[in-house]
Structure formats: C-alpha cells, structure tokens
Amino acid sequence: MFPKWFNDWNSENPTNVFGPAILVGALGGAVVLSALVVSWGNPFNDEFTQTGPRGIGMQVASLATRTPDPTLIEYYTEAPYPRDVGEPLAAEIYENVQVLGGVSEGNFLRLMNAITLWVAPDQGCAYCHAGADEGNYADDDLYTKVVSRRMIQMTQYINEEWNAHVNYNAEVGVNCYTCHRGENVPSDIWFRIDPVTNATEGWASVQNYVTPQSQYTSLPSDALYRYLYEDNVIAVHDLESRVAGQPGVGAYASIQDTERTYSLMNYFSNSLGVNCVFCHNSRAFYDPGQVTPQWSNASLAILMVQELNTDFLEPLGPVYPPHRLGPLYADAPKAACATCHKGYNQPMQGLNAIADWPELASTVPPVYE
C-alpha cells in the first residue's frame, strides 16, 4: 500500500512518525498551492488602494485576475477633422438639425456614424431615420430620433454641468457608448416596481422580494425610486439606541429607512465593484469628517442621477412606445450608477470618452484646428 522507501524508513524509525508526515504534508500542500495559483491567479499580484487612515483596513482591492471590460473591444473612436476654409456647418446643409447645428459638415457626419456604431450597429441609420434609404433624414417620424436628440443634449449637459463628477479623477467625460455599449437600450436601466405585490401594502409590499432593484436580496425593492428619483434623505444613523418617532412622519429615521439605505449602498457597491470603505470609514459611518474623498464624488453622483432622471429621462415617457415603458407604471426607463459604470470603479475603466468627441463635451460648438 505504501511505497518501499516509506516502509524501509518506518522499519528503521518505528517511533518517529513526524518526519514522513511532514514531508508528505509539505508536498501535498505545494501541489494544492500550485493548483490554486494556476486556477485563481497569484494573490500577491493584486493591487490595493488605500482610501483612509493607515492601520484600519480602509483599502480597496483590485484583483489581478479581474477581467477587463469586454465591451471596450468594440469601442469606435475617430479624431476630429480639421475644418476646411469655407466648409459649411451642419445646420446650413441639412434640414431639422436642432442640436449640433454649429458643427462642421465633416465632423457632423463623423459623429453620426459614431452614434450609429455606438447605439445601433445592426440597424444602421434607419434605426433613427425612417427615410434613410431614400436619403430623407429630416423627418421625426421615429421616436428613436426624438429620444436620441434629447440624449445628445443630456450628454452635453453632463459634461458641462456635472464636470466635477465625470472628470473627478481625470478629464474623461461621457459619450453615448458610456451607457449603450453597442445596444439600442443600455443595460442596467430600471423602472419603478413597488409595490412588488398587490397582496400586501406598505412595507410588506417591498421587503423580502428578490428583484433586480434589490440586487436579488431580501432588501427593499424601492430604494432606487426613493433615493435616485425622489429626493429623500440618505442618512439614518443615530448614536442613540432608541429614538422616539413614528415611521413615515417627519424626519424620523426608521428601521425601514435604514434597510432602504442598505439596499442602495449594496447597489452602489455592486455597480462600481468596490466595498464600503471606498467611501466610508467603516468604524464611523455617522461621522462626515471621516469619509474618504470618494464620498464627495459619490454624493455628486446621487444628485446628478436624480436630476437626469427627473429632467431628461422621465419626461420622455410620452415619446416611447408601450413596449419601452415600465411594466407597472408605464414609466420611462431611468438611469442609475450601473448604467454607466457596469461594475467598474470608473466607466469604461477610465477611457477618455470626449478626447475625440468635443461635439459632445459642450453645447458650444468646438473650434477645429
């Protein structure tokens, strides 16, 4: 049963069982460790970003084995064309150009081609222009053209008015591909779905139901609506063990508010691929003086998403056909963190989305060199 060397050694050392046991254990451990390194990757290659004071575990791990964003392979970009002397502007040539009219003709066509590849690579120009095959691009017969026009305005607005958020680490901005990634409808949009069941009312109708909005947990399914559409306060921590008040009345921070906050924070974490200490000091969630710099950027993001949902996305509801609307309230699709981030700390992993697309970086027409 055992190899000859083991039986010989054992007969010569009948009382010493530790030597061969240690040898066999070491060899077995080396085999297991080698298998783990091959299958999972070398853990010592992981990178850690310190987000708070030293010695309290406030760091975020970037796993060496994490797969790069696969959608970046399909990203199309092209540098702007210098404007030729006397080259007309888009509004001077084409009819019904309500945005981007101040862009030179060559760069207008370059941007239209990019938007097609970013949003409707399979359908082509006809996805927004019903008369594309006949050379008629002016009509607004398709809802997709009306929505696209508004989305261009929203993109410019984000890059101008929310510069502090989208360019927080570096000048990267956003463009159509940031959300769409080659799809007609971006992934990770959301609709209002509460109450989840009509059999119950109040808190029981949103708690303990597995839904995408609750990140498939038992946490409340209305957190995105309450905090990223409605303007409710995301702050429930209290140093007192019992606080007088009634849920739903005044500014009382109830257990329900706490669980909604957990639901939202869990969504944030999954959307960005980070943990709590990316923004918070986990030993003092209640103390705004101990948060990380990322907390302020996340706070800007919350305000930005609220504004985009209420001012740009939700008002498009009457424009959409029924199959594009929400299942319960027939509401327009809305955005949240994952719509842009797709599970990464930085959308498109920090790729500069406006370097080649100054037309989307501002409402002011660019000056081409």
Tell me how far CA of residue 173 lies from CA of 155, 247, 296, in angstroms.
9, 40, 18
Q: Is residue 130 located within the same domain as residue 210?
A: no
- pLDDT digit string (tens) for the chain, length 369 residues: 677 777 777 777 765 566 666 777 777 787 777 776 666 665 556 666 766 666 666 666 665 555 788 999 999 999 999 988 888 999 999 999 999 999 999 999 999 999 999 999 999 999 999 998 898 999 999 999 999 999 999 999 999 999 999 999 889 999 999 999 999 999 999 999 999 988 888 888 999 999 999 999 999 999 999 999 998 888 777 777 777 877 667 777 788 888 999 999 999 999 999 888 888 888 888 888 888 888 999 999 999 999 999 999 999 999 999 999 999 999 999 999 999 999 998 999 999 999 999 999 999 999 887
For 181, residues 6+ apart whose C-beta sits below 8 A from its C-beta are 71, 74, 118, 187, 342
In a domain, 49, yes or no: no
For residue 88, the domain's CATH number is 1.10.468.10
pLDDT for 43 equals: 57
Q: Is residue 230 located within the same domain as residue 146?
A: no
Q: Is residue 214 located within the same domain as residue 312?
A: yes
Q: Is residue 157 located within the same domain as residue 274?
A: no
Q: Is residue 157 located within the same domain as residue 193?
A: no
Q: Which two tokens stand for residue 93?
A: 């040539």
Q: Is residue 100 located within the same domain as residue 202?
A: no
Distance between CA atoms of residues 115 and 157, nearest Å:
17
In a domain, 152, yes or no: yes
DSSP 88: P
pLDDT for 32 equals: 77
Q: Is the dihedral of CA 244, 248, 251, 257 positive or negative?
A: positive
The owner of tokens 């906050």 is 261
Helix (H) / strand (E) containing 50: strand 47-50
Distance between CA atoms of residues 159 and 63, nearest Å:
30
In a domain, 246, yes or no: yes
Three-class SS state of 271: helix
Distance between CA atoms of residues 273 and 363, nearest Å:
32
Q: Which two tokens stand for residue 241?
A: 């063990």
In a domain, 173, yes or no: no
- Which own/partner pairs from 361-367 qualify as long-range (CB within 8 Å, at least 24 positions apart)? 361/156, 361/159, 361/160, 361/173, 362/156, 362/159, 362/160, 363/153, 363/156, 363/157, 363/160, 365/89, 365/102, 365/103, 366/80, 366/103, 366/107
Cβ pair 317, 331 in contact under 8 A: yes
> Apex CA 189: angle with CA 184 and CA 192, to 5°?
135
Cβ pair 308, 335 in contact under 8 A: yes
Three-class SS state of 172: coil
In a domain, 241, yes or no: yes
Distance between CA atoms of residues 90 and 104, nearest Å:
6
Virtual CA dihedral for 76, 333, 164, 80, nearest 10 degrees? 20
Q: Is residue 93 located within the same domain as residue 209?
A: no
Q: Which two tokens stand for residue 64?
A: 């060496």
Strand partners for 47: 62
In a domain, 135, yes or no: yes
In a domain, 320, yes or no: yes
Provide the domain limits for residue 147: 75-161
Least Cα distance to 78 among 340, 359, 362, 348 occurs for 359
Three-class SS state of 284: coil
Q: Is residue 226 located within the same domain as residue 286?
A: yes
Q: Is residue 317 located within the same domain as residue 215?
A: yes
Q: Is residue 157 located within the same domain as residue 192?
A: no
Distance between CA atoms of residues 110 and 98, nearest Å:
17
In a domain, 263, yes or no: yes
How many CA within 13 A on the CB side of residue 333?
16
Domain count, the chain: 2
Q: Is residue 332 located within the same domain as residue 198?
A: yes
Strands 59-62 and 47-50: antiparallel
Distance between CA atoms of residues 43 and 66, nearest Å:
12
pTM: 0.83
Q: Is residue 83 located within the same domain as residue 205?
A: no
